[in-house]
Structure 1
Amino acid sequence: MKVLIVDDEEHVREGIKLLGQWEEHEITDVIEADSGEQAIALIEDQGPEIIFTDMKMPNIDGIALLEWIKENSPSSKTIVVTGYDDYHYMRKAIHFGSTDYILKPVDPSILNDTLVRAVTQWKKEEEYRKVHNSSYRLINEMKPIYRDRKLTQLMNNYLLNQSIYEEFGFHLTREYEVGIVRVDESIIRSFGGDRDLAYFSILNVINEMLMAEENGVAFRYLSNKWEIIIIFWNDFERITSLLTALHTAIRRTLDVSCRIARGCKVSSIDQLMNSYEDAKNSLLLSNVLDRNKVKVYGKQDVLASALLINMMDYNSKIEEALQVGKFEAFLPVFNEIITAFEAQNYLSLKQILHFEQEYQLLSQHWLKRYHIPYTINNGPEYVLSFFYNQDGQFQLAKYVERKKREVKRFLKVVKRYSKQNNRDVIYEIEQYLQQNFHRDVKLQEISERFYLSREYISRKFKQEFQENISDYMVKVRMNKAKSLLLNEELKIYEIANMIGYHDDKYFRKVFKKVEGITPNEYRSLTV
């Protein structure tokens, strides 16, 4: 195997060469490139299996190089090594499939642990490429595509000709049952990111067993990119044991763990969707912390009453913690949410998908709020796929630690952007108040408009203008009243209404308190 080290600093390249335990991992050649251009030439010429790359380089930088590698040398495993602890770079590294993201100065143990993972992943994917090379050519043949399309139509209640049922060996009995095999992103990654190859390989295992049992048909459900559907038509009392055998066979043959769920029995073909929905519900309510190696679930195996925790319920606390800008202020909020998870000792797939989706929505909201030029491109399914172990169990502790690191990194970025932005927004609030002096602007209205807490607005406004908002508004109104009093055609009550006072007696009282004289006295002195 060959390793390529890409960095425009020679001492960094030399350091990695000295720290890496190359021979232990069957690395025969370590080559170097001092630029993205030279790296591309070496990759095309020598085809290194493992690539270490810096992110900050002239001309073709690390991001551009990762993008090129993904397109032109997808089997290579990449490891980002950079001095920039930056969420933008980390996100790009993940997006382009890097094995890991490590910081300079390089820790030898972290470097070699990452090397072990990269070599192991490459070898595993290479084995799949060899074993399934002949099978892969069959993916584009018409039969599998035709089968998947027609049976997806059947699931979605399209009427099909009887000849099609016969073509797939479909038994037109009176009762059916649906099973769902979930093929999530962590499984796709086991096949080198090749979704078609993953489905093809898993379906081969399933349909081979179904054909032997003469008990059903499996297909890729085109309405949901994470699912294979099985339609059973007899021996319903044996379906759970058959699904268990299927799970074991997939794991033994392909070394992946799929979550499988069983639906209810239905009495006609046009009720297949009812059985599907029942299986889907069991799948979503299954416990991702389950330590059982066999992941097969029915209605009796899940906790239907599990509480769904909403991150949005914590939004006000999150807002306060973010405005303080210190991770220590955010930690109690984070711990409260995680404690709520752990207290149930049951974390459903539905809950963790829901939580990650809300986390991303809130992140987008705050990125937008602080005008930070970053976006989140990967959906919940992709993000969560990194936290399942080989047995299909979700690693909650690892997920929590990643979220803590993300929040810390986000707070650092916010701190840089918010210092000037917060001062600017107070002046935006002042301008908004001046434009709306004629009506009663509530603090809650300002809070919702400018995405800041009421307490924060009150505190910062007083710091900037040395008076609270209500006193400031009175002063603005009185200044406007004085300019209106110069027009003798306007009545006192008309002026009061124009500046937001519906009771002219109250207006007169406030005016005298602020100016020391009545509106009439002011007019007589100035006109």
Structure 2
Amino acid sequence: MKVLIVDDEQHVREAIRLLGDWDRQGVKEIYEASNGEEATNLISRHKPQIIFSDMKMPKMDGIQLLEWIKDNHPTGKTIVVTGYDDYHYMRKAIHFGSADYILKPVDPEVLNQTLEHAIKAWEKEEFERKKDKDRYQLINQMKPIYRDRMFTKLLNNHGLDEMNYEETGLPESSVYQTALVKINEKTIKRFGGGRDIVYFTVLNVINEIVTAKNRGIGFRYLAHKGEIVIIFWEKTADVEQLLIGIYNTLKNVLGISCPIALGIPVDHSVYLLKSYQKAKDVLLSQNVMDKEAVRVYLEEREQDAPEINLLSHSAAIELATQAGEINAFEEVFDNITRDFRERSFLSWNQLIQFEKEYLVISHRFFTKYNIPYSLSEENEKRIDLFFDENGTFMLEDYIERRKREISLMLRVAKRHSRKRKSNILSDIEQYLQANFYRDVKLQEIADHFYLSREYISRKFKQEFNENISDYIVKIRINKAKSLLKNSQLKIYEIANMIGYQDDKYFRKVFKKVAGITPNEYRSSHM
């Protein structure tokens, strides 16, 4: 423990040095200064924990010294040495964080009580500082996958007890605030499809910036693809500048835009999800057609005009489908594109909703024409590819891609329609798909379609390269795969639902067809 005594009167310095019970308080070194300027030099060199300071001194008085200490040595505890008539100075001293004061002439008992109080206060604060430092070191030493899991749980406010909450290393703070960093598929493609490499690179940039100021931690949010979340604590006033620095650095490193949205401040870590949800709302409200140099968003953007609804064009789309030509769709798409272009506004929310409606219409189309299909339901992933390196949405490219998809759908529908008219086997296939959970016999099929069993068996094998029983097994296993992604269903329940009363037999059949057990398949898709 080190002490500095600052007073322009030598007898006052000597009195404090002689009257202090230094050994009992653990003080090993005592320094003296006759004015504020000397004091600043000694403080910079020796970093004393306790500083006694007079108020009226030449060159730099006590008020100026306390202000300097607050900015340059904030961990030190100051004790003002003042006279009875210096209450103006005492108020200033309190303003600049002085721990206590003693009056001249110095009373030995008051001096030592004040010293003891100041030392205990310093030790308590030092303990908290060390605790925060240890926590922050723990955060940085975590393995990335463990860190991501822990903070994802913390953000969702579940699955953490008091013990493993401590393991997160999140310091106690009067305020927390989250920011959301969007990583799109184009960024990942730029890295050759290496998703983990992208997250590793982005998180390195983020954490290098925020850890330099001991202000926050970034992690991969495992609950949603393409998202990194930053948790800030304390001093949220300059978060915007930090985020701008992060955005610009990522732009320089990756060569592509990673939009960032800021959530609201919250006063406890249990409300972090609320802050994150606000950040998500802020991001989804932004205009993706804007050409902006820095995509750091602090507030939601209001939209005056009503949203453009693709389903409102469903009648025109139905007529175009019946016509069966892509030219019939041109007018529909041109109208929609013109609406977006005239408004010069298209929010993330609107774009995602538009893509959902597009998938609904596609689903109706394929269902109507009984066409087996597979369309990705990851709407954001399908959209991500249409952003340029500056983060601006390329509307024309998006529309052209959807036109090509519809053109392909129309060709498939025509081909499938012709095939269906000439081939009764498509009806038999539909019958099997609708009744896969029952023990459908060949005779039942023959009776239903007024054909011989031999003809059905032979033609089915020629068309599908497998017999009917194997085909039913394939349908069942595909259905089982879909149900296994629902963690609420037991294995035996799934077995019963698809037509197997014996779940052990179901497990055996599943492994034979899929190559892995039902449990292994479920684990790989959770």
Task: Calculate the TM-score normalised by the size of structure 1.
Answer: 0.50
Q: Which residue does 1:343 correspond to in 2?
A: 342
- CA distance in 2: counterparts of 1:266 and 1:375, whole angstroms: 43
1:266 aligns with 2:253: no
- CA shift in 2, pair 1:304/1:190, >3 Å: same
1:288 offset after TM fit, Å? 1.1
Q: Which residue does 1:371 correspond to in 2?
A: 370
- CA shift in 2, pair 1:411/1:222, >3 Å: same
CA deviations on 1:402-431 (whole Å, 9 max, x unpaired) are: 122222232233333345768999xx9xxx
Q: Which residue does 1:472 correspond to in 2?
A: none
CA deviations on 1:190-244 (whole Å, 9 max, x unpaired) are: 2221221111110010000001122111111111122111111122121111111
Q: Which residue does 2:239 correspond to in 1?
A: 239
- CA distance in 2: counterparts of 1:167 and 1:410, whole angstroms: 53
- CA shift in 2, pair 1:277/1:209, >3 Å: same
Contact in 2 for aligned 1:288/1:393 (Cα 8 Å): yes
Contact in 2 for aligned 1:289/1:393 (Cα 8 Å): yes
Contact in 1 for aligned 2:187/2:254 (Cα 8 Å): no
**What amino acid is aligned across from residue 177 of structure 2 in structure 1?**
E
Q: Which residue does 1:157 correspond to in 2?
A: 157
Contact in 2 for aligned 1:165/1:171 (Cα 8 Å): no
**What amino acid is aligned across from residue 233 of structure 1 in structure 2?**
W
**What amino acid is aligned across from residue 179 of structure 2 in structure 1?**
G
SS in 2 for 1:299: coil
1:343 offset after TM fit, Å? 2.7
- CA distance in 1: counterparts of 2:398 and 2:346, whole angstroms: 13
- CA distance in 1: counterparts of 2:167 and 2:415, whole angstroms: 64
- Could you list the structure 1 runs, at least 4 aligned residues long, displaced by more than 6 angstroms after superposition: 422-425
- CA distance in 1: counterparts of 2:324 and 2:163, whole angstroms: 66
- CA distance in 2: counterparts of 1:156 and 1:403, whole angstroms: 36
- CA distance in 2: counterparts of 1:162 and 1:238, whole angstroms: 31
**What amino acid is aligned across from residue 156 of structure 1 in structure 2?**
N
Q: Which residue does 2:282 correspond to in 1?
A: 282
SS in 1 for 2:329: helix
1:371 offset after TM fit, Å? 2.5
- CA distance in 2: counterparts of 1:213 and 1:147, whole angstroms: 20
Q: Which residue does 2:490 correspond to in 1?
A: none
- CA shift in 2, pair 1:197/1:420, >3 Å: closer
- CA shift in 2, pair 1:419/1:319, >3 Å: farther
SS in 2 for 1:402: helix
Contact in 2 for aligned 1:353/1:381 (Cα 8 Å): yes
Contact in 1 for aligned 2:174/2:234 (Cα 8 Å): no
1:320 aligns with 2:325: no
- CA distance in 2: counterparts of 1:158 and 1:390, whole angstroms: 37
Q: Which residue does 1:361 correspond to in 2?
A: 360
- CA distance in 1: counterparts of 2:151 and 2:143, whole angstroms: 12
SS in 2 for 1:248: helix
Q: Which of the two has higher C-alpha Rg?
A: 2
Contact in 1 for aligned 2:218/2:229 (Cα 8 Å): yes
* Long gaps (5+) in structure 1: 1-140, 429-527
- CA distance in 2: counterparts of 1:411 and 1:419, whole angstroms: 12
Q: Which residue does 1:16 correspond to in 2?
A: none
Q: Which residue does 2:516 correspond to in 1?
A: none
Q: Which residue does 2:55 correspond to in 1?
A: none
Q: Which residue does 2:293 correspond to in 1?
A: 293
- CA shift in 2, pair 1:310/1:173, >3 Å: same
- CA shift in 2, pair 1:421/1:319, >3 Å: farther
**What amino acid is aligned across from residue 319 of structure 1 in structure 2?**
E
Contact in 2 for aligned 1:148/1:219 (Cα 8 Å): yes
- CA shift in 2, pair 1:189/1:351, >3 Å: same
CA deviations on 1:292-314 (whole Å, 9 max, x unpaired) are: 131111215x2355633232222
- CA distance in 1: counterparts of 2:401 and 2:159, whole angstroms: 48
* Long gaps (5+) in structure 2: 1-140, 428-526
- CA distance in 2: counterparts of 1:390 and 1:197, whole angstroms: 18
Q: Which residue does 1:414 correspond to in 2?
A: 413
- CA distance in 1: counterparts of 2:166 and 2:303, whole angstroms: 38
- CA distance in 1: counterparts of 2:239 and 2:311, whole angstroms: 40
1:169 offset after TM fit, Å? 4.9
Contact in 2 for aligned 1:182/1:258 (Cα 8 Å): yes
1:430-449 matches, within 5 Å, as: none
Task: Calculate the TM-score normalised by the size of structure 2.
Answer: 0.50
Q: Which residue does 1:517 correspond to in 2?
A: none
SS in 2 for 1:408: helix
SS in 2 for 1:231: strand
1:142-291 matches, within 5 Å, as: 143-158=143-158, 160=160, 169-291=169-291
Contact in 1 for aligned 2:216/2:231 (Cα 8 Å): yes
**What amino acid is aligned across from residue 410 of structure 1 in structure 2?**
M
**What amino acid is aligned across from residue 413 of structure 2 in structure 1?**
V
SS in 2 for 1:230: strand
- CA distance in 1: counterparts of 2:171 and 2:289, whole angstroms: 37
- CA shift in 2, pair 1:142/1:245, >3 Å: closer
**What amino acid is aligned across from residue 393 of structure 1 in structure 2?**
T
CA deviations on 1:5-46 (whole Å, 9 max, x unpaired) are: xxxxxxxxxxxxxxxxxxxxxxxxxxxxxxxxxxxxxxxxxx
- CA distance in 2: counterparts of 1:328 and 1:194, whole angstroms: 39
SS in 1 for 2:287: coil
SS in 1 for 2:171: coil
- CA shift in 2, pair 1:311/1:322, >3 Å: same
- CA distance in 1: counterparts of 2:159 and 2:177, whole angstroms: 18
Q: Which residue does 2:333 correspond to in 1?
A: 334
- CA distance in 1: counterparts of 2:146 and 2:346, whole angstroms: 38
1:394 offset after TM fit, Å? 1.1
CA deviations on 1:34-84 (whole Å, 9 max, x unpaired) are: xxxxxxxxxxxxxxxxxxxxxxxxxxxxxxxxxxxxxxxxxxxxxxxxxxx
- CA distance in 2: counterparts of 1:381 and 1:368, whole angstroms: 24
- CA distance in 2: counterparts of 1:284 and 1:306, whole angstroms: 16
1:280 offset after TM fit, Å? 0.4
- CA distance in 2: counterparts of 1:306 and 1:165, whole angstroms: 45
Contact in 1 for aligned 2:151/2:168 (Cα 8 Å): no
- CA shift in 2, pair 1:248/1:164, >3 Å: farther
Q: Which residue does 2:457 correspond to in 1?
A: none
- CA distance in 1: counterparts of 2:404 and 2:229, whole angstroms: 38
Contact in 2 for aligned 1:370/1:421 (Cα 8 Å): no
- CA distance in 2: counterparts of 1:320 and 1:161, whole angstroms: 58
SS in 2 for 1:219: strand
Contact in 1 for aligned 2:180/2:279 (Cα 8 Å): yes
Contact in 2 for aligned 1:217/1:232 (Cα 8 Å): yes
SS in 1 for 2:385: helix
- CA shift in 2, pair 1:265/1:256, >3 Å: same
SS in 2 for 1:266: coil
Contact in 2 for aligned 1:306/1:346 (Cα 8 Å): no
